[in-house]
Amino acid sequence: MSDRKISILLVEDEENLQEALKLNLELENYEVTGVYDGVEALQAVQHEHFDLIILDVMLPELDGISVCENIRLQNNDIPILILSAKNSSADRVLGLKKGADDYLTKPFNLEELLLRVSKLVEKSQRLAVRKPLEQQYQFGKNSIDFKALECITKDGEKVALTKKEIMLLKLLIENKNEVVTREKILQAVWGYNVYPTTRTIDNFILSFRKYFEEDSRNPKYFHSVRGIGYKFTEY
């Protein structure tokens, strides 16, 4: 591991809060870059590497949800913590759907914020050292050959897979044990301008369960997380 400081982009238009958060984060030995609007935030992400983004929702120029969505469009996995005065479950779900990793409502406890930042930094460090998947991946009695576009199922049967199936499997397995949002799947597998219905992704998951699960009604590997996305689990 290098000795470089963890770098955080803080996007907050309220000057007093920006200064207070910056000070407290720097006291925790983080390196903090502060910006005050959404456009500045996107420019900063394009020109610098950050380990974490702390992002207010109500911003001038471009709101935080749009900033989050834009960052995810670039297939950027950087962890994002949203800060918002909106505390309804609908607002929270929207933030998570658009790609945020965590959502904290204002006013918040500083200790809680620092704890969440610490957890997201750990995630960022795991992403940085994550090895790319090998050409073949095995789990349980199953194996997937990403290059040949085929798999061996739980029953030992060889099945040809479509390119979309391979892309979705790869995305879920690369993020194993973590929920991948529906929005991220749409962007990474289908491309942003093509919007299949939730049913389409569900059908892919059902196919995976048929191929790989001993009991498709009680899946061990492929899970739907209601209202948010999907998860591949392997411990």
Q: What is the pLDDT of residues 106-132, one digit of tens each?
A: 889 999 999 999 999 988 787 766 667
Kind plus residue range of the DSSP H or E element containing 5? none
Q: Choose the weakest-confidence range: 7-16, 22-31, 175-184, 217-226.
A: 175-184
Domains of the chain, each with CATH number or no CATH? 7-129 (3.40.50.2300), 136-232 (1.10.10.10)
- The residue assigned the tokens 């929207």 is 94
C-alpha to C-alpha distance for 213 and 208, rounded to whole angstroms: 8
- H helices then E strands: how many in the chain? 8, 12
Closest CA relative to residue 27, chosen from 8, 43, 48, 13: 8
The reported pLDDT for the residue numbered 55 is 95
169-203 in b/e form (b: 16+ CB < 10 A) is bbbbbbbeeebbbbbbbbbbbbeeeeeeeeeebee
The reported pLDDT for the residue numbered 1 is 41
Confidence of residue 9 (pLDDT cuts 50, 70, 90): very high
The reported pLDDT for the residue numbered 194 is 57
* Tens digits of residue pLDDT in 33-73: 999 999 999 999 988 888 899 999 999 889 999 999 888 87
* Tens digits of residue pLDDT in 135-168: 999 999 999 999 999 999 999 999 999 999 999 9
The reported pLDDT for the residue numbered 82 is 94
C-alpha to C-alpha distance for 180 and 32, rounded to whole angstroms: 28
The reported pLDDT for the residue numbered 92 is 84
Q: In this structure, what token pair is assigned to residue 90?
A: 């609908």
Confidence of residue 75 (pLDDT cuts 50, 70, 90): low
Closest CA relative to residue 98, chosen from 186, 162, 168, 181: 181
Across 77-105, average pLDDT: 86
Percent of all residues in the chain with a pLDDT value above 70, rounded to a whole number: 93
